[in-house]
Amino acid sequence: MSARFDRFLPLLGVFGLILVWYVGYWVRIVDPVLLPSPHETLIALWKGMTGGALLYDFMRTVFRTFAAIAVASVIAIPLGIVLGANERLYRSVEFVVDFFRSTPASAMFPLFLVIFGVGDATKIYVAAFGAALVILFNVAYGVMNARKTRILAATVMGASRWQVMKDVILMESLPQTFVGLRNGVSLALVIVVVAEMFIGSVDGLGFRVFEAQQLFNMPEMYAAIFAAGALGYGLNIFFLLIEKSFVHWSGK
Amino acid sequence: MTMHAVTPVASPYRTAFGPDDAPAAHITVRALSKKFQGVTIYENFNLDIPRGRFVSIFGPNGCGKSTLINLISGLVPVDQGEVLFGGKTLADTRIGYVFQNYREALFPWMTAFSNIQYALKLRNVPAPEAKERVDRLVARLGVKIDLSRYPYELSGGQQQLVSIMRALVVEPEVLFLDEPFSALDYEMTLFMRDQLQRIFEETGTTMVLVSHDLEEAVYLADYVLLLSRRPARIADFPLVAVSRPRSDQTLSNAEFIKLKGHCLDIFQREVRQ
């Protein structure tokens, strides 16, 4: 009985939040113009996502985030493998990687604007830049931390260096690579949404939130925020599912 | 493949309890030297390991038991010296190696079956033939494990059995085992000892086992290689003149007890030195 009930525990928080929201709305802690009721927001979300403008903005953000992660992966995964396989090489670029990994990607906006102009490319490349460093770092560590025993086991069975790399080290680095991809996609989404708010945008979730706020269309603004939240949550689940099927052995 | 004349070492099989039926040397170690960070582990070390026999290596902690089989099997490069297998170099010899830590030695992304088959893949055996050979080995050893499972879905003993099969499937000329059962519980250890003994009798492969458990070392061995503190010398290399198959009764066999006592005496003498 209690076990069956436990499955629904996460819903409690959702209901709790909605309840607090309604109470706040009814007793008017905040001007109702600033805080619409939950059902108004839900209606705005529903309308926006079923044929409204919000769906289009949602898909734009999805596209940019995936484009950024694709660009980042294509560059960072092979580079991470090379760096991880040559530990001395990695040590020599480690500071640079760590430095730019710690630099807020938003600080790079002006630079990317100068290089790529105000189009989609800037948003995608800034996000790809941030994500690539996270992925690179994780892939390199995954390769460097491949279990010595597994490498020895393959070597003693007669595997060549190339076979060890391809059959053992690459597989060993996969769990860490997926950690990098998941962190990278979260970061890419953040950067894309921020970029959509400020860099001469005409669409995307960031643009929608900003525009709705400018027009004082609060239900639509909240709807866009929730759409962005759902997207972030969904992306994480999506990558977790891929990870589970690709690296079923992770953590075992 | 060149055949080297093997210089005999002084009393390679000096036995305390009668001679073996004079097996030929399979592995010859000559003038082996190895240092780790300035510490001499082996210096001018010579050893003959007889063909088709089971040799257990036992000695004080840190004397270089595992290092010895790692040097012989090429996992660790030698500083100086020569290791030959029936006159052949390591490159011309099929060896198998079973690691202590099966969890980190098996490939968790492959099923147990694929893990075993992978050893053959590395030797360019075509997949259908490899499958057949794995099946034959499984049947011959009478292994009752669901090999379509992944290693992490198997028990510790089953995982180690899979890694032993992975080492055996290429029909190695020599099988090295580095404390293969030390991560298993006692019940499983006893079971695995008998499995290994059966495999040894079944295949007749030359086996070299490193053990930190004297009873296990003697129980499984034809010869017990007793090493001194480092730099390691051969403290003794007695024959275990107890018939096979060995069983629970062996543990109370007078000859077995006498030899175990003898090994313990030598061990303690070496530890005190």
Reported ipTM: 0.84
Residue ranges, CATH 3.40.50.300, chain B: 54-93+176-273
Min Cα separation B95/chain A (Å): 8
Q: How confident is the model at residue B254 (pLDDT cuts 50, 70, 90)?
A: very high
Confirm or reject contact between A245 and chain B (CB < 8 A): no
The pLDDT value recorded for residue B22 is: 55
CA distances (Å), origin A133, targets A70, A104, A106: 13, 12, 14
Write out pLDDT tens, residues A113-138: 899 888 889 999 999 999 999 999 99
Task: Give the 3-state secondary structure of residue A213.
Answer: helix
Q: How confident is the model at residue B4 (pLDDT cuts 50, 70, 90)?
A: very low
CA distances (Å), origin B224, targets A18, A66, B60, B97: 74, 63, 14, 19
To probe the interface with B, which of A145, A151, A155, A156 has the most B CB atoms within 10 Å?
A156
| CATH placement of domain A44-246 | 1.10.3720.10
Write out pLDDT tens, residues B134-159: 999 988 877 888 999 999 999 998 99
Tell me if B107 and A252 make a contact (CB, 8 A cut-off). no
Nearest CA in chain B to A175: B109
Tell me if A157 and B101 make a contact (CB, 8 A cut-off). no
Confirm or reject contact between A165 and chain B (CB < 8 A): no
Tell me if B150 and A147 make a contact (CB, 8 A cut-off). no
Tell me if A154 and B97 make a contact (CB, 8 A cut-off). no
End-to-end CA distance of chain A: 30
Strand order across the B174-178 sheet = B95-98, B174-178, B206-210, B54-58, B223-227, B234-236
> What are the structural domain ranges in chain A?
44-246
Could you say which DSSP state residue A145 is in?
Answer: T
Confirm or reject contact between A163 and chain B (CB < 8 A): yes
Cβ(B164)–Cβ(B199) below 8 Å: yes
Confirm or reject contact between B113 and chain A (CB < 8 A): no
Threshold 0.90, pTM exceeds: no
User: For chains A and B, what is the number of CB pairs under 8 angstroms?
Assistant: 50
The pLDDT value recorded for residue A252 is: 75
Tell me if A157 and B118 make a contact (CB, 8 A cut-off). yes
Domain B54-93+176-273: state its class: alpha beta
Determine which helix (DSSP H) or strand (DSSP E) holds A226, and give its type and residue range: helix A218-246
- Non-local (6+) Cβ contacts of A2 within 8 A are none
Residue A183: CB atoms within 10 Å = 17
**Tokens representing residue B100 in the block:** 């202590």
Write out pLDDT tens, residues B19-74: 455 578 899 999 999 999 999 999 999 999 999 999 999 999 888 899 999 999 99
Tell me if B105 and A150 make a contact (CB, 8 A cut-off). yes
Full 3-state SS string of chain B: CCCCCCCCCCCCCCCCCCCCCCCCEEEEEEEEEEEECCEEEEEEEEEEEECCCEEEEECCCCCCHHHHHHHHCCCCCCCEEEEEECCECHHHCCEEEECCCHHHHCCCCCCHHHHHHHHHHHCCCCHHHHHHHHHHHHHHHCCCCCCCCCHHHCCHHHHHHHHHHHHHCCCCCEEEEECCCCCCCHHHHHHHHHHHHHHHHHHCCEEEEECCCHHHHHHHCCEEEEECCCCCCEEECCECCCCCCCCHHHHHCHHHHHHHHHHHHHHHHHHHC
**Tokens representing residue A14 in the block:** 């959702």
The predicted model gives B74-97 an average pLDDT of 94
- Non-local (6+) Cβ contacts of A139 within 8 A are A76, A77, A79, A80, A81, A84, A173, A176, A177, A180
